[in-house]
Amino acid sequence: MIRDPELLDQLIDTISRFVRERLIPNEARLAEEDAVPVELLQEMKEMGLFGLSIPEEYGGLGLTMEEEALVAMEIGKTSPAFRSVFGTNNGIGAQGILIDGTPEQKARYVPRLATGELLSSFCLTEPDSGSDAASLRTTAVRDGDHYVLNGTKRFITNGPEADVFTVMARTDPNHKGAGGITAFIVEGDTPGLKRGPSDNKMGQKGAHTCDIIFEDCRVPAENIIGGQEGQGFKTAMKVLDRGRLHISAVCVGVAERLVEESLNYAIERKQFGVPLADHQLVQAMLADSKTEAYAGRSMVLDAARRKDAGENVSTLASCCKLFCAEMVGRVADRAVQVHGGAGYMAEYAVERFYRDVRLFRIYEGTTQIQQLVIARNMVREVS
């Protein structure tokens, strides 16, 4: 749902110009320094990017799902690490508090998440618990008016820098499934919270992840999201639809950038005396990539509109995540192929994007998890 087309066009134009004039020229610097430049981070805060999906009453822009998807497509046209730094504040780092948090929790944390004063992180994955999130082992034991957390979380986005963590921990050791899991808000300077070294990843340099270790970490009982034990996994599941649609939109943006890079190179580069773009087999790769990017855009916007209309889009969100994450991988592969040997060289953006997009098929639910969600929902609806 688009509430004010003129205002949205202004926002998208501003973000598009920011991406084109500020972020794209700094992509190589981002990758080389493995960090978002401080001045760009400040500009992101001033533009309101940390509060895109946070309601206006808490200082955010309050974008609808469709509006957020359109914005995410523009942001996707540059290195994914730029988006990663503020993406968690708009997604799983804030949405759980917004959906299930107490009024006090919302008032304390959400406004500062919207401005970027606080950087958030979401702790669910563990060394022995990835796609099977309900089997997590991190424990939270009641001790007076506190809980004592012990355990390790792995691959935690923004982990090295985050100021506040949403942490999933098992409060009921006798309940081995999802029902024994509780969500906690844990501030980054809490004694007993330790951060491992930053992970050395295949791609997405500048988007930092690390282990988060809890060793007798004492968290006030009032920091249980919603104030009730056993609701943590349900809270995590509630934020997935929006997160999956957001990531799908980013995949579309990256795909569109790669189509543009491939087309420009094919027009400029000559082989056998004519531009690459005149060769039919190159044209076929360009056409396939354009078609798939358009299909992804159409899917995401349709699902976003349905979500804004109040429909249950769990299946559609997984369809989008499944298709778009796989699609952008194919587009990136073709982009390297169109560039030929140059596409394998670090001086060209497609080489970096080829590595960056591989992660989209893994986080926010792997491709295989999306297949299971879709199929199980289909069967459930018929049954």
What is the rounded distance in angstroms from the CA atom of residue 94 to the CA atom of residue 82? 18
Q: Are residues 188 and 309 in the same domain?
A: no
Which one, of 214, 222, 212, lies nearest residue 155 by Cα?
Answer: 212
- b (16+ CB within 10 A) / e for 229-266: bbbbbebbeebbbbbbbbbbbbbbbbbbbbbebbbebb
Write down the pTM of the prediction: 0.94
Q: Are residues 253 and 364 in the same domain?
A: yes
Which one, of 206, 200, 138, 205, lies nearest residue 168 by Cα?
Answer: 138
Q: Are residues 243 and 342 in the same domain?
A: yes
Question: Residues near 339 by Cβ (< 8 Å), separated by ≥ 6?
Answer: 262, 265, 348, 350
Q: Yes or no: say if 147 and 141 are a contact pair by the CB < 8 Å rule.
A: yes
**Cα-trace Rg, the chain:** 21
Q: Are residues 260 and 367 in the same domain?
A: yes
Q: Is the dihedral of CA 64, 305, 318, 235 positive or negative?
A: positive
Domain range enclosing 292: 234-382
CATH number at residue 165: 2.40.110.10
Residues labelled as active-site residues: 364
Three-class DSSP category at 270: strand
Which one, of 102, 192, 87, lies nearest residue 148 by Cα?
Answer: 192
CATH number at residue 16: 1.10.540.10
List residues bridging with 184 in a β-sheet: 167, 224
pLDDT in tens for each of the 383 residues of the chain? Answer: 788 889 999 999 999 999 999 999 999 999 999 999 999 999 999 999 999 999 999 999 999 999 999 999 999 999 999 999 999 899 888 899 999 999 999 999 999 999 999 999 999 999 987 777 678 899 999 999 999 999 999 999 999 999 999 999 999 988 877 889 999 999 999 999 999 999 999 999 999 999 999 999 999 999 999 998 999 888 888 888 899 999 999 999 999 999 999 999 999 999 899 999 999 999 999 999 999 999 999 999 999 999 999 999 999 999 999 999 999 999 999 999 999 999 999 999 999 999 999 999 998 899 999 999 999 999 999 98
**One-letter amino acid for residue 175 of the chain:** H
* Tally of domains in the chain: 3
Q: Are residues 210 and 224 in the same domain?
A: yes
Please say which residue of 230, 253, 283 terminates a domain. 230
Please say which residue of 211, 230, 249 terminates a domain. 230
Q: Are residues 97 and 138 in the same domain?
A: no
CATH number at residue 265: 1.20.140.10
Structure tokens at 71: 């914005």
Residue with tokens 């995401």, as numbered in its chain: 300
Q: Are residues 185 and 274 in the same domain?
A: no
End-to-end CA distance of the chain: 31
Please say which residue of 187, 209, 230 terminates a domain. 230
Three-class DSSP category at 255: helix
Q: Are residues 78 and 170 in the same domain?
A: no
What is the rounded distance in angstroms from the CA atom of residue 327 to the CA atom of residue 347? 24
Backbone φ, ψ for residue 274 (5° rounding): -135, 160
